[in-house]
Amino acid sequence: MRRTPWWATAGGDDGGKDAAAGKATPSQAPAKPGDQQDGDKDGGQNGQQNGGKAQPLVPGWQTQTRAEHFFQYDVPAKGEKWKVLPPDTYVAYTEGGKPIVTMSGAASYHEGGCASKANPDLLGEAGQGQLATVGTTGGGKDGDLKENARNWAGNWGFAAYGGTAHKPKIEITDEKPWKNNGIDGWTATAKVTVTNRPSECVPATAIVKSIAQKMPDGTFHGWVIYADQGVPDALSAEQIDKIMNTVRPAPGKPGTA
């Protein structure tokens, strides 16, 4: 199984992923985090569970839940150009026609803002001109919390902002334990310098933040946000942190190991 992160060394075995209709069957390697699909669904979409609607931590915001990955989080209201996708809708970037990163339980900001793409090799809801995308991923047992957090941040920065053909520059920073809202995990940040800018609306830089948690069965699951920087309407660091601080365990799911 390939263990070298895509952001560190592009190319190589993809771990046997395949794709159909925008949905991915993932690798279990944390160097190329994927998204498991067994046992889908989350009891309804856009935060609805057990017949009731989940309440956001920030009044007026929208809640997304992905029970498959044990995460719940909030994003701003529709009026602020945020869209919460059905939990089983996938966002993926590919290499050689196969996904190298996938996420579900996603939400996007300012969709349609840019018709150009830093990386055209994508599936599902990826690359629709969003200025930011949030989602959940994981399911493998390899590595540790720090490694998974680092690789999810770096790999999403690599895939969303250029891929192998236009490899962006990735700097991993701010690696530290994450203890908030009942999650005892690890976080990392990737600062991205984009090398392929087919138009001015493609950002020169981007930021990716991740949270990794380990479940009692030994699987690692991640929450990721990647966001354009330096373009009109880009999210500020404060806005990203406010969203990140709503991340919590999905209701009714076991606590972290």
Q: Measured between alpha carbons, how far is 41 from 87 in angstroms, rounded to an integer?
A: 8
Instruction: Report, in this order, helix, strand and coil percent for the chain, each rounded to 5.
Output: 10, 35, 50
Residue 3: inside a domain, yes or no? no
Within a domain: residue 8? no
DSSP letters for 151-211: HHHHHHHHHHTTTTTTPPEEEEEEEEEEEETTEEEEEEEEEEE-S--SSTTS-SEEEEEEE
pLDDT of residue 45: 39
pLDDT in tens, 98-116: 899 999 999 999 988 777 7
What is residue 195's predicted lDDT score, i.e. its pLDDT? 93
**Res. 199 pLDDT band, cuts 50 70 90:** confident
Is the pLDDT score of 8 beyond 80? no
201 Cβ contact list (under 8 Å, min separation 6): 113, 114, 115, 116, 231
What percent of the chain is predicted at pLDDT more than 90? 64
Which helix or strand (DSSP H or E) is residue 74 part of? Answer: strand 71-75
Tell me if 129 is assigned to some domain: yes
| Distance separating alpha carbons of residues 20 and 219, to the nearest angstrom | 25
Query: What does the pLDDT read at residue 129?
Result: 80
State how far Cα 117 lies from the chain centre. 17
Q: What average pLDDT score do residues 165-178 get?
A: 95
CB-based contacts of 240, cutoff 8 Å, min separation 6:
132, 207, 209, 225, 227
pLDDT of residue 113: 72
pLDDT digits (tens, 9 = 90+) for 26-75: 332 333 333 333 333 343 333 344 345 789 999 999 999 999 999 999 99
The average pLDDT across 135-156 equals: 96
Q: Is residue 255 part of a domain?
A: no
pLDDT surpassing 70 at residue 203: yes
| Model pLDDT, residue 122 | 75
Q: Domain containing 199: what range?
A: 18-249
CA gap 179, 194 in Å, rounded: 31
Q: How far apart (Å, rounded) are the C-alpha atoms in residues 121 and 209?
A: 22
Residue 141 lies in a domain: yes
30 in any annotated domain: yes
What value does the mean pLDDT of the chain take? 81
**Model confidence band, residue 21 (pLDDT cutoffs 50, 70, 90):** very low
Q: Please report the pLDDT score of residue 3 as a whole number.
A: 45
Would you say residue 7 lies in a domain? no
pLDDT, tens digit, 9 for 90 and up, residues 220-257: 999 999 999 999 999 999 999 999 999 999 997 565 44
Inside any domain, residue 128:
yes
Kindly indicate the confidence band of residue 7, based on its pLDDT and cuts at 50, 70 and 90: low
How many domains does the structure of the chain reveal? 1
CATH number for the domain including 126? 3.40.1000.10
